[in-house]
Amino acid sequence: SQQGEEDPQALSIQEGENATMNCSYKTSINNLQWYRQNSGRGLVHLILIRSNEREKHSGRLRVTLDTSKKSSSLLITASRAADTASYFCATLSGGGADGLTFGKGTHLIIQP
C-alpha cells in the first residue's frame, strides 16, 4: 500500500514560475525523501529531510516538513522545461531498511 499522497496529481505551469507539490503521509517517519522520474526512466533522488528537520534547501529545491500535520512540500523555483517529470515523496518508517513507501506522484508539466 502507498502511504504518501501527493497533491496535486498533475500540475501545469509556465517556465519560470514556481511549482509547489504537497505530500501527506499516515504514520510516523524517520525521514522523508523526494524523487523525480522522467517518463520511462528510473527514479532519481532529489532531497532527504529527517524527521527532526523542518526545512531543507538544495539548489532550486526547497522542502518543508511538518510532522504534526504529517505533511511535506516540495518547491521548485524558477522552473525549467527540463523539470517536466513525475515527482514522488517517499517515507521511511520503522527502525531500519524496511524500504521506502512511495506516494502516487505529482505529474509536473512545464510549458515553455
Cβ atoms of 64 and 18 within 8 Å: the answer is: no
**Among 44, 55, 58, 111, which residue interacts with another protein (rule: CB under 8 A)?**
44
Of 82 and 97, the one with the shorter C-beta distance to another protein is: 97
**Among 49, 76, 85, 92, which residue interacts with another protein (rule: CB under 8 A)?**
92
The Cα 69–Cα 99 span in angstroms is 23
Q: What's the closest the beta carbon of residue 16 comes to another protein, in angstroms?
A: 28
For position 57 contacting another protein by CB under 8 A, the verdict is no
Contacts of 76 (CB under 8 A, 6+ apart): 18, 19, 20, 60, 61, 83, 108
Strand pairing category for 10-14 and 106-111: parallel
For position 75 contacting another protein by CB under 8 A, the verdict is no
Q: What's the closest the beta carbon of residue 75 comes to another protein, in angstroms?
A: 20
